[in-house]
Amino acid sequence: MSVSHEKKQNYYFQIISKVIETYFLERMPVSVNWVRLSADNSHLFVYLEFQFSQRKNLAKIIKAEKFIRLKFGNLLEGFKVPQLHFLLDPVVERVEKIDKIFSEIQKEK
Per-residue pLDDT of 8-24, as tens digits, reads: 999 999 999 999 999 99
DSSP string, 43-84: EEEEEEEESS-HHHHHHHHHHTHHHHHHHHHHH-SSSPPPEE
Domain formed by 3-108, architecture: 2-Layer Sandwich (3.30)
Q: Do 57 and 28 meet the contact criterion of CB atoms below 8 Å apart?
A: yes
Domain ranges of the chain: 3-108
Tens of pLDDT, residue by residue over 71-94, are: 999 999 877 999 999 999 888 777
Tens-place pLDDT, residues 32-66: 999 999 999 999 999 999 988 899 999 999 999 99
Q: What is the pTM of this model?
A: 0.83
